[in-house]
Amino acid sequence: MSSGFSGPPAPAYEPPESYATSTRHPVVHLPVMLDGLHIGYLWAGTDDRSAGFVRRNEFLRQAYEAPVVWSQRLRDAYTSGLPAREAIRQWIGRPEDPRGGGVPAGAREEIADRKQDLLHLANPDAERSPWDSFRPGDLDRSQGWGPLHFELPPGYDVTTDGPVQYLPVVQEDIVLGYLWTGGIAALFLPRADAGAPAGDAMGAWVQRLRDLYAQHVPASDVLARCRTMPADPVAGAVPADATVQDAPNLQHLRDRASLYEQSLRLANNPVPGDPEVMKRPALEPAERAAVLRYLREAPAVHDSGRFLPDAFDPARPSTVPDTYQTDGTWIWLGGVPHHLENHNIAPEPDLLHHIRANNAQLPAEDPATRERAKRTLRWHRILVPPPA
């Protein structure tokens, strides 16, 4: 016999508006700076379905609104269909937001086995929660509990183990990256040396590819369809005379996209708490002096005349020069020699290897060097022209 009571109706399921805020997978993370302070980390799960911002508690006052800024940016990226890791990579080198800060140009991804490890890295003195050891996979979901995960909007696979075919995408004289397909996978791969324009193009091509998927275009036909698309000020275009190229695997194409041929490599100021920075060995006095001389005597590309706070010694007055210098292959910020001189923090390993390969002797300045360096900074949106 029915009691006549059916209970409240089950709430309708509403799809998520942004990436998941937890994951069982490892996470990659990038430092976020605000006015010279390392205020936190932008992270994304290697499942490409989770992402977020972790604020460092010591900068609660200075970065009070930063979580709001990054939450909105991630919602926008999710809506545009970006995989989580690409959603955070697109912010590398963009100008700082006055409330949320920014990811420094040249910042490198680090990886943590769990999100909780990143939380501990950001705030090592915070009390550990008993939930820190909890993993969502330990739940018994046989009784339901509703949806505990979500899927990105449907689209082509974003990786493959087999061979790939690809086409270049250009914008004026810049190769922004490569459209590639392999098996049932298809995606746009931005070039590292194309800076922020490549990140912008990534968002545009992801949306275009999702549109093709929705039209039931097989991955094998994607390149043919994309090469007929009109030029776009953000997405660029496939050159009319471009031929489809083959690569034995996706890693081979990634290696090609990581080469610096169109612009210079950029070395950012070291950041406190960055595991990569903490692993750098101190230099012996003789080499330290030679490397410091190399960094100090290189031609200046830009000097704002300002000094920024020293994140490794915030109690001191602002002493870090807001400058950019170059040797024609690399550009480095004023904090690179500053932190070597004052804290014996060596430059990042690739830059240090480059200086050693030059025997710490600066090459002769090429008349075109300064312009190439300025173009690099513009592509990273560091030297942004004033509004018209």
Is position 155 within any domain? Answer: no
Residues 269, 375: one domain? yes
Q: Residue holding tokens 């912008």? A: 200
Count of domains for the chain: 3
The Cβ of residue 248 has, within 10 Å, a number of other Cβ atoms equal to 10
Is position 4 within any domain? Answer: no
For the ranges 266-275, 346-355, 366-375, the maximum mean pLDDT occurs at: 346-355
How does the average pLDDT of the chain come out, rounded?
84
Contact in structure between 35 and 318 (CB atoms under 8 Å):
no
Q: Can you give the residue range of the structural domain that contains 332?
A: 265-379
Q: How far is CA 287 from CA 344, 356, 360, in A?
A: 11, 9, 9
Residues 252, 278: one domain? no
Residues 176, 241: one domain? yes
Is position 6 within any domain? Answer: no
Using the predicted structure, report yes or no on whether residue 134 has a pLDDT greater than 70.
no
Give the pLDDT confidence of 52-102 residue by residue, as tens digits: 999 998 787 778 788 888 988 998 888 878 889 989 998 988 888 888 999
Q: Are strands 164-171 and 174-182 parallel, antiparallel or unpaired?
A: antiparallel
Residues 212, 292: one domain? no
| Alpha-carbon dihedral 265, 267, 273, 276, rounded to 10 degrees | 50
Q: Are strands 265-267 and 330-333 parallel, antiparallel or unpaired?
A: parallel
Is position 99 within any domain? Answer: yes
> Distance between CA atoms of 291 and 296, rounded to whole angstroms?
9
Give the pLDDT confidence of 215-269 residue by residue, as tens digits: 999 999 999 999 999 999 999 999 999 999 999 999 999 999 989 999 999 888 8
